[in-house]
Amino acid sequence: MVLAGLGHRFPRQPFLFRGVTATLLPNRVYALVGPSGSGKSTLLALLAGWLEPTEGRVHRTGVSRVGWVFQNPHGVARRTALDHVVLPLLVQGLTRRRARDRAQALLVEFGLGDAADREFAALSGGEAQRLMLARGIAARPDLFLVDEPTAQLDARTAARVSSTLAGLARAGTVVVVATHDAQTRAACTDTLDLVTAGVEPRPASGASGA
């Protein structure tokens, strides 16, 4: 996936960013950083194809399935946590039994094994955020966009989430994580900085193994 000279502004507003140029590769986890108001969520929307850039182009070669986990999780209030993760697996053609087994394994991976039968409305903010991450991974996207995934999580759970995202990248997904959190940034393999408008690889010792 190639970003070529991306710039964006909304009508009658100054540019949020300009000249963003980068090649985003599978097996990498990119920390998308910049000060508040610099356009991180807007850039995610450009990557997803939800917005057209004011300047430049996004070349989505090899990207047919895009997953996006928003900062504020949204789910079906009366649907169980397990059902949220089962659905994308059924869409892929898994039998209901295999889908339930895979969904349960993903919930355990995100520390939600005991919450499988609880309705979405009964989950805490952190639990709901982890559920949306599990559902997003179940969909097997080519490009996975995550907005502030650890904002509602304690340090230990945040580290687990970062490790899981690294595992997804190793499976061939391009992962882009918008974050203000230093720990999350340090766990990524590369930094995409909206201030410098480019990608900086992290030192090998700072990567999460992606």
Q: What is the CATH number of the domain that holds 182?
A: 3.40.50.300
Looking at residue 131, its amino acid is L
Looking at residue 106, its amino acid is L
Shared-domain flag, residues 34 and 6: yes
Shared-domain flag, residues 61 and 2: yes
pLDDT value, residue 176: 95
Number of structural domains the chain divides into = 2
Task: Tell whether 70 is covered by a domain.
Answer: no
Tokens of 166: 């690294």
Confidence band (pLDDT; 50, 70, 90) for 45? Answer: very high
**Structural domain ending residue among the three candidates 140, 160, 195:** 140
Shared-domain flag, residues 135 and 86: yes
Place of tokens 């920390």: 31
pLDDT value, residue 40: 93
CA–CA dist 114, 204 (Å, integer): 36
For residues 24, 42, 187, 185, the Cα torsion angle rounded to the nearest 10 degrees is 120
Rounded average pLDDT over 132-156: 85
Rounded average pLDDT over 53-78: 91
Task: Tell whether 164 is covered by a domain.
Answer: yes
Residue 199 has pLDDT above 70, yes or no: yes
**Structural domain ending residue among the three candidates 114, 140, 166:** 140
pLDDT value, residue 109: 86
Shared-domain flag, residues 53 and 87: no
**What is the span of the domain harbouring residue 120?**
76-140
Task: Tell whether 71 is covered by a domain.
Answer: no
pLDDT value, residue 112: 92
DSSP letter assigned to residue 113: G
Shared-domain flag, residues 57 and 147: yes
Inter-CA distances, 161 with 37, 130, 158, Å? 25, 8, 5
Shared-domain flag, residues 130 and 186: no
Residue 209 has pLDDT above 50, yes or no: no
pLDDT value, residue 37: 87
**pLDDT cut 90: percent of the chain above it:** 58
CB 134 within 8 A of CB 106: yes
Rounded average pLDDT over 153-182: 80
Across all residues in the chain, what is the average pLDDT?
88
Shared-domain flag, residues 21 and 108: no
pLDDT value, residue 73: 83
Shared-domain flag, residues 81 and 102: yes
Shared-domain flag, residues 108 and 202: no
Q: Which is it for strands 66-69 and 198-201: parallel, antiparallel or unpaired?
A: unpaired
Lowest-confidence range among 36-45, 78-87, 189-198? 189-198
Identify the CA nearest to 127 among candidates 139, 148, 113. Answer: 113
Which ranges in 4-80 belong to alpha helices (H)? 40-48
